[in-house]
Amino acid sequence: MHLALLLQSVLSSLCGTSAIILLILLPGLALSYEESHHFREIAFSSPQEARANATFYTLCRNSDLFDILETIQNYNYRFNNRYHYDWVFLNDQPFTEEFIKLVNASVAGEAHFGLIPKEQWSLPDSVNIAEMKRGMDKLMNDPDGAVPYGDSLSYRHMCRFESGFFYRHELLQRYDYFWRVEPGVRLRCEVRYDLFKYLQDGNYDYGFTISLLEYPKTIPSLFSTFRKSLHDLGVDGLLADPNNYSGFIVDRNTGEYNYCHFWTNFEIGNLNVFRSRQYNEIFEKLDQTNGFYYERWGDAPVRSLILSTILERGRIKRLANIGYTHPPYTQCPRQESLRIADRCSCNPETDITEKYFSCSWYFDQLSL
């Protein structure tokens, strides 16, 4: 036992190859499976540098267990085995013992499991049920075909929660940065640097990979409501401010909304921005209209509108070199040398960046 502890100390001070050679050169050393597995983790882990105060964050259900396990393993392999960041899991129902046990066994950092307060996953008292159902029926009977999640109440709860409540949860209060991860997504390339520290040291408040156009039929009144909210708060000048990101969401020539938004299933953000008075004042104004329920406002367009107007230029970063898939879309670096260096597994022909429904190229073109 003393030898095992001594060996652990020695291995921790060595890089991967040297540590493995040392193990090979110690004949007769009897290690249990648990000890050998632990030493292998030490050998292949980089030395712990100063990390950001950050966590992964996932909103999921118990039925997502095996999808999230595969995603955790992918994120471990591509990134977190080197950095061991925590992971916060939230659910509107209590997590099962099986979920907690298997996830705890898979994460590279500490896992924390939380329950969403009922009032944050319920219809507000001000919602007119009949009006909400009329809106749902309209989306489901659209002449061009039923709109995805058009009649889903749980989807509406989720969008509202992700827009204005997730960052208020007690489990996230200890952190400054979050990286949102959804069950079933994949990193398609290795991330060989600490992405949290990259944002922190670069003074970025928000990072994203993919940007898309929203379904106009799901948010017919969102922009007019947003503009009125800014006016009521006395900050309507933000929509024409050259020093923020309003040019990404509003056509400078016409002043009209262009439906571009950050795809929020991959995002890294500064939680203190979401906790700010300005962000929450705007969210509360929007939420009071019940647009999440009468229409089908998504968290992506809602948060993109707010962040694009309250953040100064230089605070949002498109992470163009991150290979990432959330079915059916993929961001894949076009540069072959980069894909080789980062051991990417994606086909560059599937990259969404320059597709007609992508706004990523537009963000780049504006030199934002």
Q: Assign residue 349 the CATH number of its domain.
A: 3.90.550.10
Question: What is the structure's pLDDT at 48?
Answer: 57
104 lies in the same domain as 179: yes
DSSP character at residue 35: H
* 40-74 residue pLDDT tens: 344 334 445 689 999 999 999 999 999 999 999 99
Q: How far apart, in whole angstroms, are the C-alpha atoms of residue 329 and residue 320?
A: 14
Cβ neighbours, 10 Å, residue 270: 21
Q: How far apart are the first and last CA of the chain?
A: 57
Answer whether 323's CB lies under 8 Å from 188's CB.
yes
Contacts of 195 (CB under 8 A, 6+ apart): 79, 179, 207, 268, 319, 322
Question: What is the structure's pLDDT at 367?
Answer: 77
DSSP character at residue 237: G
Question: What is the structure's pLDDT at 305?
Answer: 98
Classify residue 143: in a domain, yes or no. Answer: yes
The DSSP string of 77-119 is IIIIHHH--EEEEEESSPPPHHHHHHHHTT-SS-EEEEE--GG
Answer whether 149's CB lies under 8 Å from 310's CB.
no
Q: How far apart, in whole angstroms, are the C-alpha atoms of residue 184 and residue 65?
A: 10
Q: Which of 267, 284, 295, 336 is catalytic?
A: 267
Type of residue numbered 275:
R
Residue 34, judged by CB atoms within 10 A of its CB (0-12, 13-18, 19+), counts as exposed
| Domains of the chain: total | 2
* 154-165 residue pLDDT tens: 999 999 999 999
Tokens 């999440």 locate to: 292
Classify residue 49: in a domain, yes or no. Answer: no
87 lies in the same domain as 184: yes
29 lies in the same domain as 68: no
Q: What are 323's two structure tokens?
A: 């290979």
**Which three-class secondary structure state does DSSP give residue 243?**
coil
Question: What is the structure's pLDDT at 252?
Answer: 82
Classify residue 284: in a domain, yes or no. Answer: yes
- Stretch 4-9: mean pLDDT: 44
In this predicted structure, the answer to whether residue 15 has a pLDDT above a threshold of 90 is no
Question: To the nearest whole percent, how much of the chain has pLDDT over 70?
Answer: 86
Question: What is the structure's pLDDT at 111?
Answer: 99
37 lies in the same domain as 76: no
H helices, E strands: number in the chain: 17, 12
Going from the C-alpha of 356 to that of each of 37, 211, 260, 262, 296, the distances in angstroms are 48, 11, 12, 15, 23
**Which three-class secondary structure state does DSSP give residue 325?**
strand
207 lies in the same domain as 119: yes
17 lies in the same domain as 38: yes
Classify residue 345: in a domain, yes or no. Answer: yes
Strands (E), the chain: 54-59, 86-91, 111-115, 177-180, 186-187, 206-208, 211-213, 260-262, 267-270, 316-318, 324-326, 329-331
- Stretch 272-287: mean pLDDT: 99
In this predicted structure, the answer to whether residue 31 has a pLDDT above a threshold of 80 is no
16 lies in the same domain as 129: no
Please name which of 274, 255, 155 lies closest in space to residue 215, comparing C-alpha atoms: 155
Answer whether 82's CB lies under 8 Å from 45's CB.
yes
Question: What is the structure's pLDDT at 255?
Answer: 86
27 lies in the same domain as 88: no
Classify residue 209: in a domain, yes or no. Answer: yes
Q: How far apart, in whole angstroms, are the C-alpha atoms of residue 325 and residue 290?
A: 32
Three-state secondary structure of 171-228: HHCCCCEEEECCCCCEECCCCCCCHHHHHHHCCCCEEECCEEECCHHHCCCHHHHHHH
Q: What are 29's two structure tokens?
A: 């050393």
Annotation says 170 is catalytic:
no
Q: What are 297's two structure tokens?
A: 């406002």
In this predicted structure, the answer to whether residue 83 has a pLDDT above a threshold of 50 is yes
Question: What is the structure's pLDDT at 366?
Answer: 87
38 lies in the same domain as 112: no
Structural domain of residue 6, as residue ranges? 2-44
Average pLDDT for the chain:
90
346: alpha, beta or left? (left if phi > 0; alpha if psi -120 to 50):
beta
- Stretch 196-220: mean pLDDT: 98
177 lies in the same domain as 68: yes
Question: What is the structure's pLDDT at 231?
Answer: 98
**For residue 168, what pLDDT band results from cuts at 50, 70 and 90?**
very high
Cβ neighbours, 10 Å, residue 228: 15
Classify residue 163: in a domain, yes or no. Answer: yes
In this predicted structure, the answer to whether residue 184 has a pLDDT above a threshold of 80 is yes
Residue 255, judged by CB atoms within 10 A of its CB (0-12, 13-18, 19+), counts as exposed
Question: To the nearest whole percent, how much of the chain has pLDDT over 90?
Answer: 84
37 lies in the same domain as 88: no
* 87-122 residue pLDDT tens: 999 999 999 999 999 999 999 999 999 999 999 999
Q: What are 332's two structure tokens?
A: 């894949």
23 lies in the same domain as 163: no
